Structure 1
Amino acid sequence: MQFKFIPLALALAFAGSAGAQEVIKIGHVGPVSGPSAHLGKDNENGAKMAVEDLNAKGFKIDGKPVKFVLQLEDDGSDPKQGTAVAQKLVDAKVNGVIGHLNSGTSIPASKIYYDAGIPQISPATTQTKYTQQGFKSAFRVVANDAKLGGSLGNYAITKLGAKKIAVIDDRTAYGQGVADEFMKAAKKALPSAEFTKEFTNDKATDFNAILTKIKAKNPDLVFFGGMDSVGGPLLRQMKALGINAKYMGGDGICTESLPKLAGAAAANGVVTCAEAGGVTAEQQKGMDDFVARYKKKYNADVQIYSPYVYDAVMTMATAMQEAKSSQPAKYLPFLQKIKYQGVTGLIAFDDKGDIKDGALTLFTYTDGKKTKIEVIK
């Protein structure tokens, strides 16, 4: 038998071309450290599930199998850290970005992605400003603060009968934004309503001073703009001071962790919160299946946004497939016109990058469990 000598470099080149597969790099950014780490980890898990599903089914672009990989980054809910990791993802030449979670990190990072021409889909940013900057690369798969805060303000007056309202926000882009929209809508619904306005910050633990002022006003409802890591202890201290008002907030407090953070203060029916997003009855099975898969895989409950992260990844991948390219400049126009039926419902964007017909889900807590009240379109 005769053996033909093939140079090693040539042999490796042949082997490489035979098994060559395009690698598509998706960046994911969320706070996996700091006070909102439980929410950031939930988001990260949703991104991992999506990429594993895409790779498992042999996803193809222009008829060729591709492999998705995630570059996971932590912004710690800090704007400076957020812009640093955004630049890191740009330098790594990622094909797209899913994130960020907080409005305060998403908004400054969006300029960096826009300048680099990299599409960004946020699964959780609700501050209205995010999609009003004229950046055609920025999208979100949840309703914005104008809808979320506005719906809560109207609900507080028309359904909960609030007349004396205390509003507290944590001065972040998200917290201030949702609180402002809440007040605007509540004042419109009942011009004679009395308002008290107080501020804290997103790392505070002692609320005695502002709660003492609020107690003197005897409110029937307290609205908090911020995240559960502050909102839970705030509710606990309200109860300890004898403030027996209803408690309301946006998606930042609308988590499975709130009863743990607030303790007995999150008693049945005390809290009303809204989550940006929500599924109607005909979509419920898809969401239930996702929740069950998530629980089995991570031995944890979905917090809020992981299904939206999952859908954001799938939406981006579908735009690439329709464009027959993973290059940002080529698939961005297809992302702008996308119609993707996801776990959370139909995803399509308006000319600003906001989701069309974004839903909200109102919740309360019963026996320590988050309980759906209704979905609002």
Structure 2
Amino acid sequence: MHTTKMIPLAAAIALSLSASAHAQEQVVKIAHVGPITGPIAHIGKDNENGARMAIEELNKQGLTLDGKKTRFVLMAEDDASDPKQATAVAQKLVDAKVAGVIGHVNSGTSIPASKIYYDAGIPQISPSTTSAKYTQQGFNTTFRVVANDSQLGGALGRYAAKTLHAKTAAVIDDRTAYGQGLAEEFTKAAKAAGMTIVATQYTNDKATDFNAILTSFKAKKPDVVFFGGLDAGAGPMLRQMKQLGIQAKFMGGDAICTSDLPKLAGDGISNDQVICAEAGGVEESARKGLDAYKTAYKIKYGKDVVIYAPYTYDALMTMADAMQKAKSADPKKYLPELAKIQHKGVTGMIAFDAKGDIKDGTITLYTYRGAQRSQLAVTK
């Protein structure tokens, strides 16, 4: 008799303990936004996978914030690389009271969405947005963990002068915000390093005939032709440079640094002629940590990292680190910690400047050999 009465009592105590533990648990919603449909869905999904790995890692750690056991939940949304869809998703996340946002993937979606997050006081860290404008809006909620286009153009200018020992360059841009910004930063850095800009010309992002511009360049005999534009323009430009007998090195940013460039350029591209740059990459000292992450990613998802998954993982872990330092997931409380964070990530040290740009962002330089992209260097 005595023992049968004790069993329900023990069960009742266990139940009440579990209920009180459950009452102590808080759920923190962090969003990831990227294109999960459309032409760059593979990049959006790669980023989302990186965010998911971070959430799982945090939940394994069993963190407490403000004395309460905390469970992190990922709200994954698709913006389809479309600015209108991006702002609709941003509003949905604000209404859902997320604690923070990781994303978006593209500059064209991150920039309009950033205003909505800023108005709601919700921190946003993009793992892959490179337009300088993203962090020039004066929003204290806006951060990124990769180098921006200004840093990219500057690194290419310094490389041209110091590593290629180029003395002269001819510069052309496609008049897009991206192309123009990149060309301006290249010009600034190249001049500062002692180079002379012998010609500056403009085209548009639909053009494929550059003969008139290139003929005017040929007379100046530049060591480097720099193009601020896309691979769709760079391919024909390289073919026409070859036809005109222009021997210069050809340089540009991440939008020409694609696997499609050799196809678009055909026989116009020769080994080591093209030097292009992408945001991201790790210096030798951080390679071990990144390789371990990539191995874990492949085991989990059965495929290789596309590009930015490690940066997405780091962005989310950096946000969570700021929450731990503030002992709170309340954006008002952890935002000041995020602004002064020093987080050791798998892609290197993450710390932000006053605008929200990553300090000392790395850039990877590539060339092409036998139609294959080949890494040259990681620089800052």
TM-score, normalised with respect to structure 2: 0.81
CA distance 1:12–1:112, shift in 2 (3 Å): farther
Q: What code does the residue aligned with 1:24 have?
A: V
Q: Is the 8 A contact 2:34 2:81 kept in 1?
A: yes
Q: Which SS does the other structure have where 1:279 is aligned?
A: coil
Q: Which residue of 2 aligns with 1:354?
A: 357
SS at match of 1:19: helix
Q: Is the 8 A contact 1:236 1:262 kept in 2?
A: yes
1:323 — aligned with what?
326
Q: CA 1:236/1:123 → structure 2, altered by over 3 Å: closer, same or farther? A: same
CA offsets 1:113-169 (integer angstroms, 9 cap, x no match): 111010111112222232232211111112222221122123234544274535233
The one of 102, 109, 113 equivalent to 1:109 is 113
Of 193, 196, 199, which residue of structure 2 is paired with 1:194? 199
The 1:357/1:274 distance shift into structure 2, 3 A limit, reads same
Alpha-carbon displacement from aligned partner over 1:237-288 (angstroms, at most 9, x marks no partner) = 3455564754433234445676677677665323322222332222111111
Whichever residue aligns with residue 196 of structure 2, its letter is: P
Which amino acid in the other structure matches residue 136 of structure 2?
Q
Go from structure 1 to structure 2 and tell me whether the alpha carbon gap of 1:165 and 1:74 turns closer, same or farther (over 3 Å shift): farther
**Distance in 1, Cα, partners of 2:301 & 2:269:** 26
RMSD (Å), alpha carbons: 3.3
Q: Which residue number in structure 1 is paired with residue 86 of structure 2?
A: 82
Structure 1 residue 93: deviation in Å? 1.1
1:50 matched residue in structure 2: 54
**What do residues 27-69 of structure 1 show as CA deviations (whole Å, max 9, x unaligned)?**
1122333443333232222212222222233333345432222
For residues 41 and 260 of structure 1, the distance between their equivalents in structure 2, rounded to whole angstroms, comes to 26
1:143 lines up with 2:142 in the alignment: no
| Residues 312 and 372 (structure 1), Cα distance of their counterparts in 2 relative to 1, 3 Å cut | same
Contact kept, 8 Å, 1:117 with 1:137, in 2: the verdict is yes
Letter in structure 2 aligned against 1:331? Y
Separation (CA, whole Å) in 2 of partners of 1:176 and 1:79 = 21
Q: Tell me whether 1:128 sits opposite 2:132 in the alignment.
A: yes
Q: Is the 8 A contact 2:175 2:202 kept in 1?
A: no
Aligned pairs (5 A) from 1:223-372: 223-225=226-228, 230-231=230-231, 233-241=232-240, 243=242, 246-254=249-257, 268-367=271-370, 369-372=372-375
Partner of 1:155, secondary structure, is helix
Deviations 1:285-323 (A, max 9, x none): 111112222233334333332211111100001111111
Residue in structure 1 matching 2:182, options 169, 178, 181: 178
Change beyond 3 A, Cα 1:336–1:78:
same
Between 349-358 and 106-115, report the one with greater CA deviation: 349-358
Provide closer, same or farther for how the CA distance between residues 280 and 305 of structure 1 changes in structure 2, counting only shifts above 3 A.
Answer: same
Q: Deviations over 1:160-202 (max 9, x none)?
A: 427453523372x4444323322333455433422222121xx
Give the aligned residue type for 2:378: V
Aligned to 1:168: 173
Whole-angstrom CA distance in 2 between matches of 1:221 and 1:61: 54
C-alpha distance in structure 2 between counterparts of 1:260 and 1:13, whole Å: 67
**8 Å contact kept, 2:227–2:234:** no
**Greater mean deviation of Cα atoms: 190-199 or 235-244:** 235-244
TM-score of the pair, normalised by structure 1: 0.82
8 Å CA contact 1:235, 1:266 repeated in 2? no
Q: How far did residue 362 of structure 1 move?
A: 1.8
Q: 2: distance between equivalents of 1:224 and 1:82?
A: 30
Match of 2:35 in 1: 31
Deviations along 1:191-230, whole A, 9 cap, x unmatched? 3422222121xxx6xx433x3444434476554445xxx5
- Decide whether aligned partners of structure 1 residues 26 and 57 sit closer, same or farther in structure 2, where only a CA change above 3 A counts: same
Indicate how the Cα distance of structure 1 residues 195 and 330 shifts in structure 2: closer, same or farther if over 3 A, else same: same
Give distance in 2, aligned partners of 1:288 and 1:264: 35
Q: 13-22 or 326-335: which moved more?
A: 13-22
1:236, 1:264 within 8 Å by CA — same for their partners in 2?
A: no
Q: Which structure 2 residue ranges, 5 or more long, are not aligned?
A: none
Deviates more, 1:240-249 or 1:143-152: 240-249
User: Over residues 63-99 of structure 1, what are the superposed CA-to-partner deviations in whole Å (9 max), with x where a residue is unaligned?
Assistant: 5432222222233333333222221211121110111
Distance 1:120 1:301 in 2: 26
Quick one: which of 101, 122, 132 aligns to 1:118? 122
In the alignment, what sits opposite 1:216? 215
The number of aligned residues is: 362
What is residue 99 of structure 2 aligned with on the other side?
95
Q: Per-residue deviation at 1:110?
A: 1.5
Question: Which protein has the larger Cα radius of gyration, Structure 1 or Structure 2?
Answer: 2
